[in-house]
Amino acid sequence: MNIHTPEWVKHAVFYQIFPDRFARSPRTQHPRGITFKPWGSPPEEQGYQGGDLRGIVDKLDYLQKLGVTALYLNPIFASASNHRYHTYDYYQVDPLLGGNEALRELLDAAHARKMRVVLDGVFNHASRGFWAFHHILENGANSPYLDWFIVYDWPLRPYSSDKTHPMNYKAWWNLPALPEFNTENPGVRDYIFNIARHWIEFGIDGWRLDVPFEINDDSFWQEFRRVVKTANPEAYLCGEVWWNAQRWLQGDQFDAVMNYLFMDAALCFFGANTLRTDYKREHLKLQGIGAEEFARAVEHMHGLYDWQVNHVQLNLLDSHDTARALWILGEDLSALRLCALFQMTMPGAPCIYYGDEIGLSAGDDPACRGAFPWENQKLWNHDLLGFYRQITAMHHKYPVLRTGTFTPLLARDRLYAFRRQLDQKQAIVFFNSDTRITSHTLALQKHVEVRDILQVWPRTANRLYQIRGQSLELMLPSREAVVLVNDVDLV
């Protein structure tokens, strides 16, 4: 099958936002009597802190300076949970976030800056408050919508915590608050496809699809893709699949997945000495590895999919579903910097989880969903923020780092290197993950012919390389990397 993926994603730097906790705008006027928790309250307390979509608009200057060109927003539709994975109205942006008008403002403002906006689509399950499920609650077996869900017996027990009288309908992970749709019902399918089309036509640039593997039906996702791509052929479809996703990435369902294989490999190699061994997540092994095993993991990751897919994979280091990367890495800033530089030089779309760039660190959900400390910049790591701005600028400046081919060059001990090539432009990226200064020589006649080399990273007056005949000699400080790009076309 001829696989086509959206061209813009190959050049994007994503920024994931948990809307309730990113920014609160004074321009969003709520009805009298609305009370939010104080901004910065411990996320373990749950509740709402009042972040909204206009707050994101107000911070677009910050995001643009960071080098962000695409936003991925956790769910924004009306819901009775702060994470909004409990949707009760798919056609209404939550009023606490500013409603549909605020989304319109965000889309217009982002698109004016050539930024894209991807929304979280939660289509496997709804909530107890979803209108069709509520209809069943009120009417029982007499509801015409009975077949929209899977009910085992009566009466329904949507709030049951009694083990002798358990919940009696199909729900995600047996959570009563999350009744699962019966997607074999043609009316349910039409409803979901119409939602997908509606918001694409409204102007969003794609869907991140929550737990799509729970809808175990290829024909569903094939039709979903047809509907979305008919509305916008360049819309991005990214599934939340934490493991081998070949089934969904054959060109007829998703464009990409959240690349947790990337996350696992990067954290385990660059953070091998400081990785928190007490942190366990299903489908993430999170144990220190050397360069050889790291190289095998990267080769395996790339070998799973067509290169049209590899170039649009959402390469992340953490998310709302994991502890923050810096916490997992045992607060090792050098490891985070190496991981982030790896993101910006590898095939795929790098994705920054909001606040990582200023050094936010926290354990698993809900701790990882803390409020962005806009008013207390003493909490910011400004050096780290400057680092992120530099590496995103490098990513944007050199197309070879975005769509070039990928060839591994070296994997030994704590050293890892690869080449990217795009037409006559070439780049060598060399990582020293060791705690010692390392020297290494690459034989150019064997690996790559480089002329008029620029050391584009790090930005320093001290050149970390020299050429002797057909050899490239590198001298790298501990826990550092170098990116070399040829300045002129090779002949």
CA dist 433 and 270 (Å) reads 6
Q: Are 21 and 51 in contact (CB under 8 A)?
A: yes
* Stretch (H or E) spanning 239: strand 236-239
Q: Which residue is catalytic, options 240, 255, 332, 356?
A: 240
240 in active site: yes
Q: Which residues contact residue 441 at a Cβ distance below 8 angstroms, ignoring those fewer than 6 apart? A: 471, 472, 473, 474
Distance CA 4, CA 58 (A): 35
**Assigned token pair, 385:** 């923020």
Q: Measure CA 441 to chain center.
A: 36
Q: What values do phi and psi take at 457, rounded to 5?
A: -150, 135
The crossing angle, in degrees rounded to 10, of helices 186-202 and 99-112 is: 50
Count CA within 13 A, CB hemisphere, residue 266: 25
From the list 387, 315, 329, the residue with the least C-alpha distance to 363 is 329
Cβ atoms of 463 and 455 within 8 Å: the answer is yes
Distance CA 336, CA 69 (A): 21
CB 372 within 8 A of CB 21: yes
Selecting among 52, 210, 332, 357, the annotated active-site residue is 210
Q: What is the C-alpha separation between 183 and 190, in angstroms, rounded?
A: 9
Secondary structure percentages of the chain, helix, strand, coil, to 5: 35, 20, 45
Instruction: Give the contacts of 430 (CB within 8 A, at least 6 positions apart).
Output: 409, 410, 415, 416, 417, 440, 474, 476, 481, 482, 483, 484
List strand residue ranges (DSSP E) for 156-199, in order.
none
Whether 318 is a known active-site residue: answer no
List the catalytic residues: 210, 240
